[in-house]
Chain A
Amino acid sequence: MKTVAVVGASLAGLSAARSLRGQGYDGRLVIIGEESHRPYDRPPLSKEFLTGAVDEAELALEADGEDLDAEWILGTRAVGLGIRDRSVRLADGRAVRADGVVVATGASARTLPGSDGLAGVHVLRTLDDARALRDDLARGGRLVVVGGGFVGAEVASTAYGMGLEVTLVAAGPTPLSGQLGPDMAAAVSLLHADRGVRLLCGTGVRGVTGKPGEPPTTPWTAARGSGRGRVAAVLLDDGRSIPADIVVVGIGANPCTGWLEGSGVALDNGVRCGADGTTSVPGVVAVGDCAAWYDPALAAHRRVEHWTGARERPAAAAAALLSGGTAPFTPPRPPYFWSDQYGVRIQFSGHAAQADSVTIEDGDPADRSFLAVYRRAGHPVAVLGMDRTKLFTRWRRQLATAAAPVGTA
């Protein structure tokens, strides 16, 4: 293999490049990124970066002096893949021909229809998104967060700490109910109410309303707001109107796979992959948020939009690419994610949806500090910790080592 193109320059792409070099690949390595930035860490974007406690230099994922001997093509989007000669076509008209391709193009934040160009309405996915939101939050005021996922919960927590008046709107019964199951999500969501953050659950959002324009205050907002004025309120499905100076829309992300349509690479809510990242096309593997790997525990293909998946899985994908799919592989560890909210460490591993019971094994939700184990037919399938780091690690490890394909039972 003489040339490998890694399409996507965030954690998954960088991890793939590192794995390729670590596994002995010494050919040409081209890393293509849509954003103009070198790889950076996204989790702080909803937390310490917004408050200013962490600056841009501290987000860098590459170590000082690290040299992957790669050609970086940044600020240019991939627009197509020709599988006959494995050429990646770029938006600027160039093409990169490669013997192996790693698809790591990630996902893009979903937006609220009709909110384009309205100042004060934000999504949070990229560094540029975070810069714009940080500048807006520094002005203070009333923040309405739309969406009950991690981005929404973390932004609510951060903005509360910055002194804003915060309302969180979630379509489910509580925030994080999809990720943690309704009972444990309710326990975790008490953190919002404890601080006086207003929770509006079980209601969708119809849209946002604006008021006539004011001059943009920063280059970031100027670039985003194109003169339609500024947001005034969020309209709920039930007819209520919630006044807002700033709105953050955290309603999930769509895999960035449009550039692969028609290429022959099978897509199904992401790039459809085996349990080692191999796709329907030889010489093409996929990793990170855009990739729907087969999960033996679920007997299904599933996109795992977690930091740890983007960090760990590319090693197996790199091995599969270099070996032509013949390398032995071990199934990835169960999904693991963390969230820091209001100074509390929330950690979760496994699959909540598989469970038929949840028990508190240690601590007490009333104290906002506990460990809960999810079981299916008596076997642990997931674990949740709130400020129970040590015990959580033990359970997470046990889940990973004892992982049995319960989905096929």
Chain B
Amino acid sequence: MVPACRLADLPRGEAFRLESDPPVAVFHTDDGELYAIDDTCTHQDASLSDGWLEGCEVECPLHASKFDLRTGSVDAPPARLPVRTHQVLVEDGMVYVMLSDAVPNLPRTCAVARLAGGLV
């Protein structure tokens, strides 16, 4: 279980980016629900925590792919692969994320960049 942020610091309609590897986005919806998904869009390297949150759906800030926060599934292209979802817990006003042990669907451009970064 990884601590993300204080609930008081994550108002409704906002997102928090957890700098894990790979990073995770925690969303607080307008209805008061908390969801966590991988932060990196599966299409290309973009941060979903910068995206447009509407209901239980986030639109990638770059190429407008949409993901369902509850399931991680793709609601709109160009992305074709789902993002991983992670469990969220709140304890004593602190938001925690239970990271999924599934294999993430990172975009190829991002994976190449990471590899290049690792070789430097």
Interface residues of A (CB under 8 A from B): 11, 41, 43, 48, 53-54, 58, 60-61, 63-64, 307-308, 311, 336, 338, 345, 347, 389-390, 392-393, 396-397
Contacts and interface: CB of A to CB of B under 8 A. Distances in A.
Given A390-B50, A393-B51, A397-B52, A311 B62 contact: no
A41 B77 contact: yes
13 contacts: A43-B78, A53-B108, A53-B112, A54-B108, A61-B78, A63-B80, A311-B77, A338-B62, A389-B47, A390-B49, A392-B61, A393-B50, A393-B51
Contact of B64 (A58, A308, A390): A308
Contacts of A63: 74, 77, 80
A60 B62 contact: no
Given A390-B50, A397-B52, 4 more contacts: A41-B78, A58-B108, A63-B77, A338-B62
B76 interface: yes
Q: Is the interface of A mostly helix, strand, loop or mixed?
A: helix
Given A307-B64, A338-B62, A338-B63, A48 B80 contact: no
B46 interface: yes
Contact of A61 (B51, B77, B108): B77
Q: Which of B46, B80, B109 has the most CB of A within 10 A?
A: B80
A313 to B, nearest CB: 13
Indicate the size class of the contact surface on chain B.
10 to 19
Given A41-B77, A41-B78, A63-B80, A390 B52 contact: no
Interface string B52-81: 100000000111100000000010111010
Interface in B16-57: 46-47, 49-52
Contacts of B108: 53-54, 58
Q: Which of A48, A308, A311, A347 has the most CB of B within 10 A?
A: A311
B98 to A, nearest CB: 26
Contact of A64 (B62, B76, B80): B80
A300 to B, nearest CB: 25
Given A63-B74, A396-B52, A397-B52, A389 B80 contact: no
